Each structure stands twice: as C-alpha cells, then as structure tokens.
A and B are shown apart, each in its own frame.
Chain A
C-alpha cells in the first residue's frame, strides 16, 4: 500500500496532517510505519530542533520560544475545529483560561503534585468543559456557534471577580512551580527547563492532533465541514463528531493555557479576554487554515510581531499610548497584507511556491 498514488493522495485529502513533511513518493519504509509512530518520530525531531535552537540562542529567548510553543498548541487545536470540522469558535481563549486557572489552583492547593499530573488533570478538566459547551452548541451552525462561544469568551473572565477570594480578582493568581530537577542542575537554566517541558508537551499534543486529523476521525470532520447532509447519509454521526472535534480543540486550548501559566507563573483575567480568542482565530487565518503547519506560522506571528512592534515603538521614542497600541495595528496590517496577497495564508503561499518549483523542475 505504498504506491505513489496513495502516497500523494495523503496531502490533499488529509490536509491537516500537520507534522507530515514533504514526502517523496517511494519512501516505502517510512510509509510502512503506522501513522502514530511516524508522527511521534517527527515530534521527537521537532523537539530536538527546538532544543538545539534553545542552546544556540540562550536563556533570554527561552521564554519566547516557550510562548511560541503553547500558542502553537492552542492554535493547532483551533485549526482542527475551524479548518477541520468547520465550526467557528470565538471562545478558544476561554478554554486557555480554564487550563491556566486549573494549573494555578493545582499548584497553589496541591503543591506536591508533579507537573505531569497537573497537565493530565488540566486535560481532563478541559475535556469536561469542552463536552459541556460542545454538547450545548452542537446543533448551532456558523455565526450562531460563534455567537454562543463568544458568550464564553466575554463571560468567563468575569468569574474571577465574582469569586474574588478563590480566583484572585483582577490581580489573578501567582504561582511558583518547581525549577530544574536536581540531575540537570547546572546544565540548563530554569527558563530553559520550563521551555523544554512546554515543548515536550506541545510536540506530543501536535503528534496526537496530526494523527487524529490524518485518520478516519479527521476525514469525518472534513466531510461534515463540507456537507453535513451527505456526511450523515454516509453513516457519519454528525452531532457526535462535532462534539468530539470541539472537545479535542478544548483539550488542546486548555493544555496550552496550563503551559502558559506554568511558564509565566501568573494568571490574570486580563490576558484571557475576547481579544485573545479573536487574535488566535485571526492568526490561524494568517498562518493558513487548512493545515497544522499554519499553526506554526500563526504562533510565530503572534509572539514575534508583538515583540518587533514594541521594539519599533521604543526605537521611535513613541508615547506610551502609541507603544501599547502599535502591536495591534501592526498585526492588523500584516493580516490584511498576507490575506490580500496570499488568500490561503502563509502555509498556502508556501505550498503554491512548492508546487510551482516542482512544476518548473518537471518541465525542464
């Protein structure tokens, strides 16, 4: 089953197979590996690359690299939901908030639990929240679903004020997580260690998302995205599959939020407003909605555009107000320009480029 035809088919059909590299037809040993094994190997490669990058750039950029990691996981979950199953959620930031506050509360109230257990619990909490919201919204389509999830994004940060003592109000919660384990003391700094923890979780999460996306579940989601009636007539349970997509996206978002809290050591309601949800969605469109690779470009854009814009504002000696708003303007301009010239986002543009290069090398 590794004929060239089937190999080539993978990419257009399983368009979400994110961590799948540009495969050349005929690499039969690679193709013979089961899908999850392939994705885990790629995940390990990705982790190795990040580790290399981390040691090359040093302690200062570690936090930025970590930020790219957890943002990417959140956007990859959103990609599966929006690009994969056609449901637009404006509440993705709310799930990040659920994850972040779960992490903070776990560290504050159960300080002895290891980070792995915390992350596991966060995934469970996010899944429960995802089932609750997803089951309630499974019958909603398009703008109505967006509207319902909007409520979540707007309402959830308010809870922190309602339960001030427990959730810390607008000051949020501050946590101290364990640093470098003793056996690595002196080899890596605390922020490097945290970045590695983040990226290990992220690549495992991405490998899972890629496997789901390339498997039957992903194809069912795409069928529902394209035509619900025809999908149900092919025996696909539409409502259930939509809820499953929503739950997977919530778990990814929650996990990303938990990792964010772990790295930053602080959670505040002001970092999980509607703006975050909208930014995630806009960045996903910018990166390319059809593929998990889009999530990489999107997360790089979210993290670095802000940094560059702030640097730019400082170098121009702008006023405080201008400096605060410049990143948003900058992001907006980049989004408009990218979509004007590359309607399929950065990833779509790269794919076009590759197709063109291949066509040229074939013709010559």
Chain B
C-alpha cells in the first residue's frame, strides 16, 4: 500500500511559528517517509503540539513551507489537508458527543464518498449507494478496532479505553496516507499500551504515522525515526538508539549535570517534567 514515489510523503522545512513575542517553533524541519513511524518528543512546552497543528493545517506557520508528496498541499485549510489524506486524533479525543459511535466513524470516512446535492435529493446517482458503502466501511472499521458492539451507543456512555478505540477508528476509516496521533497513550494502562504499540505498527503497513507521545518506552518501541524538540528547535533526530545516546536529549530532559552548570558551560536547565498536558505552545 505504500507509495513508491521517491519523494517524502510529507516534508516540513524551516517551519517557524511566533505567537506575538514568543517563538513556539524556530526553523523546524521534518520528513515523513511513506510507511514509517515518526515520533515527536520533547519536554513540556517544546512545541510538539504546535508542530502538529501546523502539519494538520489547524495553525498557519509564520514562516517555512510544508510539502505533501513533493508538491505544495492542495489548500491551506484543515479540510483540504484532510481530503488529501491526512488524518489525526486529538489529545482530548474530540468525539462527536451527540452522534452514535457508528455516526462518528462514518464522518471519518466522509472524504471517500462521492455524490452531490442533486444525487442526494433525487435519489439518482451515487449518493445513497455510497452512503451504504460508507456505513459498511465504518462497521468494518469498528470491528477491526474491536468496538463494533458499541456501534449504536453515544460516545459519552462508553469507557475511556473504548472511546480511544473509536477515535482511532474514526481517524483510520478514511484510509489516510498520513496519520497524526496526539498522545495516543495518555490514560492507558500498561497492557493497553502494548496493544496500542501493536496497533501503531499495524497502521504503518498502510500509512505513515507521526506521533506525539510522553511515554518513552512506547516511542522507543514503535518509532523508526525520532525528532526531539526543545524550546521550539530540533535538538536531535535519528533512530531510537541514536536519540537515546544523544547527550543533548539527556540534557534537555534531565538538565545539565550540576558540576557543568556550576562552571557555567551548559545551557540553562530545563524543568525535568513529564507531567500531563502541554503548555500553550507545547
């Protein structure tokens, strides 16, 4: 299923985002190959979610370019990127609360259906046939994620773990070529995390995945390539083992050793937090 095009699926060059005087991202580059899993890590406030919002079109960068399959993206708005094949999950899930689980997932498959207003009103043409296909596709996705039994329930009535699977099903049902996962492991138990790791590896057979995550073990396990951000800058990137061995990463996460700091050689220590959520720029 991976495209054989020589160029990158998604490529960001020199992306800069400024919120007033605050530079949230400073000249950040990122490449995503088809079928790869790219991890985006960094301390709180490093700019991970900001980069995510740029990639998904929610936020327009102050500077820099994004290219999709070697060309500029088909539009600047979020729905243009989504139609082109970029799907994403949200840290807060953002399921549609007043729609059934099946309805939620059908919305996720929306980009695959054709048939315009005339077909809708007249009953001729493709609209209603594709609507049935959409429903079958959504049911199949729910089954694949093991939540088909909840198809008619409202999301709010389901346990958090099930809701997460619904959110994943909604993102994957549209057969995206790039899936952006925003902290998919937050709030999951150890066992659920193992399942998630398997799922993410499974996704990468059909699509490329970019994930923002705080759980290092998950990131190290599933990612082919890791980009480490700190203060809006890329401080390291490479395979998991390269990143693990990089002193700059250790420094960003754990701070400078006390002796070095005393000598004034190192940069200011970063707060060694692993807390929940991100800052405004994070």
| A residues apposed to B, CB below 8 Å | 1, 5-6, 8-9, 12-15, 34-37, 208, 211-212, 215-217, 219-220, 222-223, 225-227, 229-238
Contact = CB atoms under 8 A, between A and B. Distances in A.
Given A34-B128, A227-B95, A234-B110, A13 B123 contact: no
B63 to A, nearest CB: 23
A37 B128 CA distance: 11
Contacts of A215: 120, 127-128, 131
Contact of B174 (A5, A216, A230, A235): A235
B79, B115, B139 pick with most chain A CB within 10 angstroms: B79
B162 interface: no
B77 A232 contact: yes
Contacts of B95: 227, 230
A233 B127 contact: no
Which applies to chain A's interface (DSSP): helix, strand, loop or mixed?
Answer: helix
A212, A220, A227 pick with most chain B CB within 10 angstroms: A227
B170 interface: yes
A221 B176 CA distance: 22
B100 A238 contact: no
Interface of B: 56, 58, 77-79, 82-83, 87-88, 90, 94-100, 102-103, 106-108, 110-111, 113, 115, 117, 120-123, 127-128, 131-132, 134-136, 139, 151-152, 154, 170, 174
B61 to A, nearest CB: 18
Contacts of A1: 132, 135-136
Given A217-B117, A233-B82, A235-B79, A35 B107 contact: no
21 contacts: A6-B135, A9-B135, A12-B103, A34-B123, A36-B123, A211-B120, A211-B121, A212-B120, A212-B121, A216-B110, A216-B113, A219-B106, A226-B99, A227-B96, A229-B58, A229-B78, A230-B90, A232-B77, A233-B78, A234-B111, A237-B77
A233 B131 contact: no
A208 B113 CA distance: 21
A5 B142 CA distance: 13
A226 B83 CA distance: 20
B100 A13 contact: yes
A9 B152 contact: yes
Given A36-B122, A234-B170, A9 B102 contact: yes
A232 B77 CA distance: 8
Contacts of B106: 13, 219
Given A37-B123, A211-B121, A232 B99 contact: no
Which applies to chain B's interface (DSSP): helix, strand, loop or mixed?
Answer: helix
Given A217-B117, A232-B79, A13 B102 contact: yes
Nearest to A36: B123
A235 B83 contact: yes
Nearest to B152: A9
Given A12-B152, A233-B78, 17 more contacts: A8-B152, A13-B100, A14-B103, A15-B98, A37-B123, A208-B121, A216-B110, A216-B120, A216-B131, A223-B107, A225-B98, A226-B97, A230-B90, A232-B77, A233-B90, A234-B87, A236-B107
Contacts of B174: 234-235
Contacts of B139: 5-6
Given A9-B100, A226-B98, A232-B82, A36 B135 contact: no
Nearest to B117: A217
Contacts of B90: 229-230, 233
A233 B56 contact: yes
A70 B115 CA distance: 31
B56, B77, B128, B136 pick with most chain A CB within 10 angstroms: B128
